Structure 1
Amino acid sequence: MATIRQHFVPQAFLKGFAEDSGSPFIWVYDKRSGYRPSRKSVKSVAYEHYYYSQETEAGEQDIDSLEKAFAKTIDNDLPLIIQNIKAVPNRGVSLSDEHKGKIAYFIGLSLTRVPSFRDGINQIYSWAAQMALNEVAKDNDAVSDLIDKYGLTAEAKAWVSLRPMLEIANNISESVLSKNWQFFVAADNVSFMTSDNPVVIGGGAGMGPGHPMAELMLSLRKDLALVCTPRGKKSVEVFKQSPSETRNFNRGIVRAARHRVFSDHLSSTVDAFVKKYSHEQQQIVI
């Protein structure tokens, strides 16, 4: 049976932010006005129908081959790796090269599989197609008449962004591996949050995620976050945050979010905090 709900933030990853260990339920905060916080299963958030659907060379519809490939590989492996990370402040983290590579690829893919990236790529292709159509119309009266009479436009199919999604994810992952990795343990009684744009890009204005000086930040689970930075020591470091530091980290998560922020608890304070940044979201520059 085909998988209809195809997630751009994996369900197993989101369970790391569940209200209780082993629970499938998280609290969802919406940046848009009129939406109240709600308790939802990870199955019912961060997905779109047929999100990875594509056309084969024969012109047939391939609904979920890519979705199933993710489910069997990175979306299955990565949450287990994250769950088993033992991060002790001032003692470092032991990560094999294989596990570090999978985390790096997950970071890259988490930046390119989300709608904030794919929608932008599709707009570029649609713009190029429209420009080509306009050029044809200059020398073809029939096409020009169709444009004038029916408002004929050119629009790229949604699947055209899939190849750039995978290629650029690889490029970003290589950049991530060259950076310094710093793990942060959340302050006591303050949890990390995540969102529908789970990786936050820091650095200079307009800096892309693959830039050598870009800093990438990701909440791995509700008690642990990772920052990949061009600054600092070469060895992996672990720091314990203060409550204000964890809240400031969450501010970056909220500001980057497209629409939804995910947390392990219900709080009117968090809802007001999320709504404060309703007009901000992360734009990915390539």
Structure 2
Amino acid sequence: MSNRKIKKNQHYVPQSYLRRFTALGEKSLLWAFDKEKHEFKTLQSSVNKICSEDYYYYQIDESGDIDHIKLEDELSSIERIGNNIINRIIDMRCMPYVPILEREKGELAFYISLMLFRGPSFRDAINDVYGQVVKHALPIVMNDKNAPEIPSILKEMIETKGISNVIDINVNSVISLQPMIECAQTMGLSLLKKRWILVSAPEDNNFITSDIPVVFYPVNSSKTNGGPAHSTTEILFPLSSKVALIITPSQQFNEGIEIGNSNKDLAIKINRLIFFAANSLVFCAEKYNWLNNLPKSKGKGQRLNSGVPRDGFNIIDNPWKK
């Protein structure tokens, strides 16, 4: 079997991460709650088939050739490193303090940040922004005296009908791959300046996760959200069904990871934040009835809103997407 075929199904939420939320006694099956339908799926879902697309990370080089697996291979390496660090952190959750090397903390910070930006909810918005930039830049370029002169018949058609009615502006979705990495790098550096706290779910309680596992919000609810890399933003990341990581603004630098107090009220708050941040699906080890009781109106998800109307340009989406 070729390596290309093995790498065809590419995840934006790693399987190694999702397996920490599988049902009791299962290695790859978990329960999925559909936010739009506001109900659990009838059967358990396999981690192999959720949060993924065929060749999701395909790239186009300068020659126009397509590479399906180069970026996927690099991301798999990042996932292995992050997964190993998380395993060690979880194993030390009963200690009074979790020591972690500076290098490992930086690697985990990037892993967490990348988890936020690699999903469709963020890549779609980035693609829209680029489309709008091209749309507004094209008239400027065409009116540039130093630019090659366009044929008179084409110029007349543009002046009569408008650029968007004469020229198709197409933006390939691969354009969002580089900003995806750059945003993760910026956010990762910001996380290293904050306080890291590990909390465990109390007995008879579990944490959930979703198709957007990393949640960000202003630490002070009265303030406007400044984005995931902002100095006043708090980050919530469930590591498993029993352990969650909170990365919060702090004036004091701390190299390790503190152990926070575990209580039922905090577990409920964490799960509600995860639920409301989810885009379409929430994942958990059991069919929790309380998910059905949460209001639909608040379940709009943490999808990045570019504020850009998708008109006057086309996004060329992944042609292998099912």
TM-score scaled by length of structure 1: 0.89
**Mapped partners of 1:217, 1:49: distance in 2:** 29
Note the alpha carbon deviations across 1:23-76, whole angstroms, 9 max, x for none.
1111111110265334111001011222111101111011121011111x1112
Write the letter of the residue equivalent to 1:39.
Q
Tell me the residue number matched to 1:83: 87
Q: Does 1:281 align with 2:286?
A: no
Q: Does 1:176 align with 2:197?
A: no
| Aligned pairs (5 A) from 1:180-259 | 180-203=195-218, 204-231=223-250, 234=254, 236-259=257-280
**Mapped partners of 1:20, 1:43: distance in 2:** 17
Write the letter of the residue equivalent to 1:108.
S
Q: Secondary structure at the match of 2:283?
A: strand
More off after superposition, 19-28 vs 221-230: 19-28
Would you say the 8 A contact 1:31–1:274 is kept in 2?
Answer: no
- Give the number of aligned pairs: 284
Q: Taking structure 1 as reference, are residues 34 and 208 closer, same or farther at Cα in structure 2, changes over 3 Å only?
A: closer
CA RMSD of aligned residues (A): 2.6
Q: Taking structure 1 as reference, are residues 155 and 93 closer, same or farther at Cα in structure 2, changes over 3 Å only?
A: same
Which ranges of structure 2 fall in alignment gaps of 5 or more residues?
Answer: 144-149, 307-322
Deviation, 1:232, is: 7.3
Residue 100 (structure 1) aligned to one of 101, 105, 112: 105
Would you say the 8 A contact 1:254–1:277 is kept in 2?
Answer: no
**Mapped partners of 2:122, 2:194: distance in 1:** 22
Select the structure of larger CA radius of gyration: 2
**Mapped partners of 2:207, 2:94: distance in 1:** 17
**Mapped partners of 1:214, 1:78: distance in 2:** 22
**Mapped partners of 1:152, 1:33: distance in 2:** 40
Would you say the 8 A contact 2:193–2:250 is kept in 1?
Answer: no
**Mapped partners of 1:230, 1:7: distance in 2:** 30
TM-score scaled by length of structure 2: 0.80
| Aligned pairs (5 A) from 1:23-42 | 23-33=27-37, 36-37=40-41, 38-42=43-47
Write the letter of the residue equivalent to 1:74.
I
Would you say the 8 A contact 2:199–2:259 is kept in 1?
Answer: yes
Write the letter of the residue equivalent to 1:273.
L
Write the letter of the residue equivalent to 1:36.
F
Q: Taking structure 1 as reference, are residues 7 and 190 closer, same or farther at Cα in structure 2, changes over 3 Å only?
A: same
Tell me the residue number matched to 2:318: none
Q: Does 1:6 align with 2:10?
A: yes
**Mapped partners of 1:33, 1:244: distance in 2:** 27
Write the letter of the residue equivalent to 2:104.
H
Write the letter of the residue equivalent to 2:171.
A
Tell me the residue number matched to 1:158: 173
Residue identity over aligned pairs, in percent, reads 29
Q: Taking structure 1 as reference, are residues 22 and 68 closer, same or farther at Cα in structure 2, changes over 3 Å only?
A: farther
**Mapped partners of 2:93, 2:82: distance in 1:** 20
Would you say the 8 A contact 1:89–1:240 is kept in 2?
Answer: no
Write the letter of the residue equivalent to 1:268.
N
Note the alpha carbon deviations across 1:205-248, whole angstroms, 9 max, x for none.
23111112211110011111111111376353112321221011
Q: Taking structure 1 as reference, are residues 89 and 76 closer, same or farther at Cα in structure 2, changes over 3 Å only?
A: closer
**Mapped partners of 1:275, 1:26: distance in 2:** 22
Would you say the 8 A contact 2:276–2:302 is kept in 1?
Answer: yes
Note the alpha carbon deviations across 1:103-138, whole angstroms, 9 max, x for none.
101111112111121111100001112223455688
